[in-house]
Amino acid sequence: MSNKYKYTKAPKLYRDMKFKNHWLIGTIWPYVNRFGDVHDTEFTAKGFTCTCMGFNRWGKCKHIARVHGKLVA
């Protein structure tokens, strides 16, 4: 995962998912915003991470929420 921002937050965990030893570890979902910037949402053993400014500033973002929603649906 590329780290575009200096400050990063801890990976986002969801109680309805198990992350350790999950078969999706290392999977990256790229999202392109309206300005053409690519944000990578990654499934890690410690939770979801994202390279967007929202995640790196507040520890949550819509990209992670979208991936989580698709996986638990």
**pLDDT of residue 7 exceeding 70:** no
Closest CA to 46 of 6, 9, 11, 7: 11
**DSSP secondary structure letters along 13-65:** --TT---TT-TTTT-EEEEE-TTS-EEEEEEETTEEEE-SHHHHHHS--HHHH
- pLDDT tens digit sequence for 25-61: 999 999 998 999 999 999 999 999 999 989 999 998 9
User: Residue 68 in contact with residue 22, Cβ under 8 Å?
Assistant: no
Task: State how many domains the chain has.
Answer: 1
Of the pLDDT bands very low, low, confident and very high (cuts 50, 70, 90), residue 1 is: very low
Choose between 7 and 15: higher pLDDT. Answer: 15
Domain around 10: 1-73
